[in-house]
Amino acid sequence: MSDGRCVFNVLKESGTSRFVKSLTPDSAVPNVKRAIALAESQDVKKRVLPFHQPRNVSRGCHFAYTLPEQRPHYRTLLKSVQTHADMDLKMDEKLEKLLSGEQVYYDESQGIFPYSTAYAGFQFGTFAGQLGDGRVVNLFDVQDNKGNWQTLQLKGSGLTPFSRFADGKAVLRSSIRELIISEALYHIGVPSSRALQLTLLPETRASRERKSEPCAVLCRVAPTWLRIGSFDLFRFRPHLKGLLGLTHFAIDEVFNGGKDFPRKRDLNIFRKDFFPNDGIEQGAEARNPVEGSTIYDEFYRHVINLNAKCVASWQTYGFMNGVLNTDNTSIMGLSLDYGPFNIMDQLKPDFTPNHDDIAGRYSFENQPSAIWWNLIMLGHDLSVLIGAGPSHIDKILSMQELSEELPAEVEKEVVNRANDVIALAGNEYKFTFLSEYANLMGKRIGIDLGLSSDLTNAEEIAAQSSQVHDFLSNILEPLLNILETTEVDYNHFFVKLQNYRGPLFDDDGAEGLSRSFLSLFLHAPQIEQLQAFKSGEIDINADSGGVRIVMGTVERLSQWAKEYVKFVPDEQKRSEIAKEVNPLFTPRAWMFDEVVDDFMDNQRTELNDPESKIDNSLLSKLFLMSSNPYDPSKWEESLRPDVQERWMNLEHESIREKYLKQATCSS
């Protein structure tokens, strides 16, 4: 592995800011030249107006120039070596200061100056008006080691024009959580933003829930930070030029001119709902086929398919976002803006990790529907573009404002076509989501279904849908029902099944199943109950219900095992397929709590002292294990071996007391 490139060499040679170059700034600071003049004419150690002045930004703008607020002290807590390597950036002091906000890079000739983006959003189903990057500053864009553009940004860097009534700060505990979960998900295989560096801010405090908490800055990176809320803004404040500018930026810069858009698959194939009883509320059915296609239809469908695949991976690994508002939903289908998230300990579909989500809108089982609801909102944002179709798009593009009146008949056609595109795309969303979900879950139990994500033929799509439906109905749903009843650790179960080498059937267990196979699904006391019943020590007629439940579960498990062996007759092949998708380690809420408590309870004084010695070992250990979920050899066994053993031992009874923990939105 090379040491990487010096950041200033990279910036001088190829650095840019695609957002700044392509889109419209708030009129208060109209260009980079003016932003630089403001930055250099005032004391940047103090708040600089209008960089740090919360306000309603000008209509039609996409961002506002700003600067990180200067803090008394900066201390780097952790750097992600792998993310630096993937970015091909040298981990030196120059980069470290940029990634903390201590120093700022700008260049008029390159069009680079820090900025915060404008967006709106629906929060828990209610429109919230202008939101925007209230504590985030975007720095610049550089290409990673694969030649892909990545946008670096600082979270917790201070007030911005979008801070509203907040303080622009991020507390240490939430910054630790995002640092670890973003890298954990990425390395598991779940689409996610990533983290480069966590910086502690000694002597900078934030008031949260009546407590004074230490603050931090997290430098994170993604190919784009555009979200559905970015488009919501132009329904909130209608502005055709602004909407078109944002849409074309997404098509041209984010999605490389639409080279991967679903042009070969006719949307009208999805006049049929291939999964009518899947539980996702799709909305009104399409009344008519849509004629022709435009780049805007394809853009919308591409965003839908990316998000369908992302939420399929969430459901596969038991990840729960906790706050799936439109302003937290990426157009690239990335997991981002981590708040009260969790990874499922035990399978409980109606669980929400968000303590404030009383109605369970964003519970685990509701995530696919919640994302689709957000995508419907995006369809409404783009309705004038996807509704126009080939027949009227030239007329729409020639309009100066959305307020211009269309002929009544044209307006009716635009509205009807937009509704039909959204409804058809809903069926495509379900097809993509369930195909990807079945593909991943099949592999987790050692079954390669051979599914394709690139089908264009109606007959092939129908055949794959039937195959997915059969797998879900006969294999997966019965298995998940069993896991929900037995309450074994969700992710750990798949690892145990992957590594299991014994017989499935034998007379030493119950219902023809072997005791060793039963132990994958049942806790030790449940196994003992079965054995006591089998030996006549327990009278089932006198039992209070516990044994009956276990026996009923074992009966269902026996039937499931008979179906399962039809798919996986080769034990070795089963294991090889499964180990590619089953992480050996997934971080849990109670582990995050241990790390946070180690700082907050044991090192409270040290965190506020820029000269103190801080013990980083617990944070480093969790980060190493989380960012190398398939490879224990990279966990540095000599570092806190006691912790590694405890975090990997999920069999003892007391562990369940820590499961399914909730958090608040406060960060």
Read out DSSP for 372-440?
A: HHHHHHHHHHTHHHHHHHHHHHHHHHH-S-TTSPPPHHHHHHHHHHHHHHHHHHHHHHHHHHHHHHHHH
Residue where the block lists tokens 């990997």? 648
For the beta carbon of residue 505, count every other beta carbon within 10 angstroms. 14
pLDDT of amino acid 1: 47
CB of 64 within 8 A of CB of 54?
no
Task: Choose the catalytic residue: 232, 278, 327, 420.
Answer: 327
- Token pair of 535 as six digits: 């030996």
Q: How far apart are CA 524 and CA 487, in angstroms?
A: 12
CB neighbour list of residue 257: distance below 8 Å, 6 or more residues apart: 251
**Does residue 180 contact residue 626 with C-beta atoms inside 8 Å?**
yes
Alpha-carbon span 25 to 245, nearest angstrom: 12
Cβ atoms within 10 Å, residue 73: 15
User: C-alpha 76: how far from its chain's center?
Assistant: 25
The whole-angstrom separation of Cα 57 and Cα 27 is 8
- The CA distances from residue 495 to 90, 316, 344, 584, 655, in Å, are 36, 13, 15, 7, 18
CB 425 within 8 A of CB 300: yes
Contacts of 287 (CB under 8 A, 6+ apart): 416, 419, 420
Secondary structure letter of residue 655 according to DSSP: G
* Residue spans of alpha helices (H) in 451-567: 458-471, 477-486, 490-499, 515-518, 524-534, 546-567
Residue 615 DSSP one-character state: -
Contact 99, 153 (CB under 8 A): no
DSSP annotation of 219 reads E
Q: Which residue type does 67 have?
A: L
Say if residues 316 and 437 touch (Cβ distance below 8 Å).
yes
Block residue for tokens 């849509």: 290
587: which DSSP letter?
Answer: -
Across the chain, which distance is largest between two alpha carbons, in Å?
88
Residue 327 known to be catalytic:
yes
How far, CA to CA in Å, does 616 sit from each of 432, 625, 631, 647? 42, 14, 22, 17
Low-confidence ranges of the chain (pLDDT < 50): 1
Q: Is 9 left (phi over 0), alpha (psi -120 to 50) or beta?
A: alpha
**In sequence order, which residues have a C-beta less than 8 Å from that of residue 454 and are 6 or more positions away?**
none
- Spatial separation of the C-alpha atoms in residues 660 and 403, rounded to whole Å: 49
Contact 309, 191 (CB under 8 A): yes
pLDDT value at position 536? 72
Q: How many CA atoms lie within 13 A of 596 on its CB side?
A: 21
> How far is Cα 606 from Cα 600, in angstroms, rounded to an integer?
10
Angle, helices 383-398 vs 408-444, to 10°: value is 140
